[in-house]
Amino acid sequence: MTRRDHTLLLAALLFAGCAGDAVDVAPGLAARTTYALSGPCPTDPTAPAEFTGEIDGFSVEITGPGINSAITAAGGTDSLRIEEIPAGDNRTIVLFGELSGAKLWRGIRTGVTIAADQETSVNILLAKVADLTCARNPQFEPLAFHTATVLQDGRVLLTGGANNERDCGANRCLEASSFAELYDPTLGQFTRITGALNRNRMFHTATLLDDGRVLIAGGTSDAEIVAVDGTNPFPIRPTNVVSLVEVFDPTTGMFTSMGDDTVPRVFHAAVKMRDGRVLLSGGVPGVPGDGINSLHNAENTTTVCDVGTFSCSGFATLNKARAGHVSYIDDNGNVIVWGGSVDLAATQGLAGYHMEVMRTGSTVFEMNEVAGMSNNRNLFFHGVTQYHPTRVLSAGGLVRDETGTFTLASTSTDATKGPVYVHDTTAAQAPGGGLSTGGDAANPWSLATLRFFAASAPLTGRRVLMSGGFTSLEFAPSSGVSLFDEGSLSVGPLSVGGEDRSLREGRAGHRMSAIGDGTVVITGGLTGTVDARAPNGTGEVFGDPIAPEVGQ
């Protein structure tokens, strides 16, 4: 018999009464879907659904303020009976799908309010623990190089991205979308937003603001994927760079223009500073006048955008022109910029491959001395995740030499493996912290293959899930999945029951979003082969085997 798995939505009906009342929890199967354990997720939203025997019972745990010990119950697939559910706010409901007593599937809802003497309906999506399953419907549009922003209510906003790759003479061309959609983790479904971006864009940034809105900046409406040669050391030529900044309001579902950035920019970085403003840095304004596409025309400019005044203006100047870099803030609010430097000359006594920092309260960037930095750690288009206030993980990436030639970054000991680094901003070795490469110098942390445009997401317990990316400058997508665990100082494949797991299909330029309920949703990306690539329109869901810490 072929092994099957499924993504299952449960509508759990809760009724809160007085102490001593008995309460039935009746999981209703709102959707019953099975997919093959491996292979691409279905792209047909009307695909037939069925329920298999992988779940033969359910169990539930309810915790929250005033509940001294978890309220639990177990039963079959028809109903569960729970005694004495106290009414109150901030209830956490954990629902398990079981097979012969083994908890194979899990769904979590937090912040649930249970009112006295009335029914409370709660949607809970079950994801298979420690494995990758499919979202309950495909995206409304295939996307790559889009953005995925986790909103304050847990939904994920997808904006823009390449929705088509086509032949355009000797090259392949990417065309950007103006559409947006939302992934709802309580339903496992994508829904289309009524509003649309004011400009088609891809390779842009989207930054969550303190008030719940999202600031969207930069990118390009069109781009070519070109063969790497002396004229095109970098394989993407952005041909219609966007300067318009806009803001998405989740309460209205609409996008509002905020005006132009001081310069058009793509392959830039964005970070929300401690004061709530968004800092945009670097990037390129388009194809350089000399036609040599090596990112040598990267900007050293920055722009600060303030939704309070609904305006953007020029700001501090970077010491180095950068593109394909990242920016983040540490636990002290300092803005740190890593990678993407196209100028390796020494500045302020430090080589150009070092990071930069703008300290809290300052408007000046300084070169940042970080122990363990070297030229091959000046990374471009690396997959970066801040998994702790003082820890940032980097996976894969490109390196660029002084001639402008790009190669895929590798470890110091194996030219076939991609590097994994952790920037510890509080390490004592240097003023700017230290860069860790692993517990064993002879066997540094690594990805199984070289990658760039990979994706990553934080997990509970100082762990990071990494996936996909291009394994060559010819844009060959990878399906590899790796897991970083700070506790064991290890990076290894994602393994389930001794069997290594991979993405259902290769992806690069995709996004991974940690929802906060113990799941990570993976969206979009270019998929296929070098000769037959296309934007991907399906989502995959990873169920973390370690449940997130929830309120008691």
pLDDT (tens digit per residue) in 226-258: 999 989 999 999 999 999 999 999 999 999 999
Q: pLDDT per residue over 394-424, tens digit each?
A: 999 999 999 999 999 999 999 999 999 999 9
Looking at the chain, the number of H-run helices and the number of E-run strands are: 0, 50
Over residues 514-536, the mean pLDDT reads: 92
Strand partners, 288: none
Q: Which of 39-53, 112-126, 318-332, 387-401 has the lowest mean pLDDT?
A: 39-53
Smallest CA-to-CA distance from 336 within 426, 276, 417 is with: 426
CA angle 472, 207, 215 (to 5 degrees): 120
pLDDT class of 20 with cuts at 50, 70, 90: very low
Q: Is a pLDDT exceeding 70 seen at residue 5? A: no
The model's confidence at residue 49, banded by pLDDT at 50, 70 and 90, is very low
Band of residue 434 on the pLDDT scale cut at 50, 70, 90:
very high
How far is it, in rounded angstroms, from Cα 519 to Cα 126? 10
pLDDT computed for residue 19 by the predictor: 44
User: What integer is the mean pLDDT of 469-497?
Assistant: 94
Q: What is the pLDDT of residues 87-120, one digit of tens each?
A: 899 999 999 988 899 998 999 999 999 888 777 7
Neighbouring CB atoms inside 10 A of 537's CB total 19
Sign of CA dihedral 265, 387, 159, 208: negative
Phi–psi pair at 377, nearest 5 degrees = -105, 10
Task: Look up residue 386 and give its two tokens.
Answer: 């801040």
Q: Is the pLDDT of residue 10 over 90?
A: no
The percent of residues above 70 in pLDDT, for the chain, comes to 91
d(CA 466, CA 30): 32
Q: What is the pTM of this model?
A: 0.94
Q: What does 413-470 look like in DSSP terms, one character per residue?
A: S-TTSEEEEEEETT-TTSTT-EEE--S-TTS--EESS--BS-EEEEETTTEEEEE--B
Distance separating alpha carbons of residues 220 and 199, to the nearest angstrom: 9
What is the model's pLDDT at position 12? 57
Mean pLDDT throughout 139-159?
97
**Residue among 24, 33, 32, 26 nearest 11 (CA):** 26
For the chain, the average pLDDT equals: 90
Specify the DSSP class assigned to residue 416.
Answer: T
Burial (Cβ within 10 Å: 0-12, 13-18, ≥19) of residue 251: exposed
67 against 422, higher pLDDT: 422
Residue 330's pLDDT band, with cuts at 50, 70 and 90, is very high
pLDDT at 18: 45
3-state secondary structure of 546: coil
DSSP state of 41: P
pLDDT for res 50: 46
Residue type, 399: V
C-alpha span between 248 and 257 (Å, rounded)? 9
Q: Is the pLDDT of residue 6 over 50?
A: no
Calculate Rg over the CA atoms of the chain: 24
Q: Are 463 and 456 in contact (CB under 8 A)?
A: no
Of 302, 223, 306, 237, residue with least CA distance to 263: 302
As a 3-state breakdown, the chain gives helix, strand, coil percent values, each rounded to 5, of: 0, 50, 50
In this prediction, residue 32 has a pLDDT band, given cuts at 50, 70 and 90, of very low
pLDDT at 65: 92
pLDDT of residue 241: 98
Tokens of 146: 């889009």
Give the number of other Cβ atoms within 10 Å of residue 173's Cβ. Answer: 18
Residue 43 has pLDDT above 80, yes or no: yes
Which CB contacts under 8 angstroms, 24+ apart, belong to 324-327?
324/267, 324/295, 324/380, 324/381, 324/398, 325/269, 325/281, 325/282, 325/380, 326/269, 326/382, 326/384, 326/394, 327/269, 327/270, 327/271, 327/279, 327/281
Name the token pair of 215.
């600031």
- All domains of the chain, ordered by start, with CATH? 4-128 (2.60.40), 132-543 (2.120.10.80)
Q: What is the pLDDT of residue 549?
A: 76
Q: Is it the case that residue 23 has pLDDT exceeding 80?
A: no
Give the list of residues 6+ apart from residue 101 with CB closer than 8 angstroms, or none. 57
Which of the four pLDDT bands, split at 50, 70 and 90, describes residue 30?
Answer: very low
With 80 as the cut, is the pLDDT of residue 313 above it? yes
Residue 365: what pLDDT?
98
Total residue length of the chain: 552
Per-residue model confidence (pLDDT) at position 118: 77
Least confident of 219-228, 237-246, 431-440: 431-440
Q: Flag the least confident range among 216-230, 311-325, 524-538.
A: 524-538
Per-residue pLDDT for 1 more than 50? no
pLDDT for the residue 55: 82
CA angle in degrees (0–180, nearest 5) for 301-231-269: 25
> Is 248:214 a contact under the CB 8 Å cutoff?
yes
Q: What is the mean pLDDT of residues 27-41?
A: 59
Confidence (pLDDT) at 218: 98
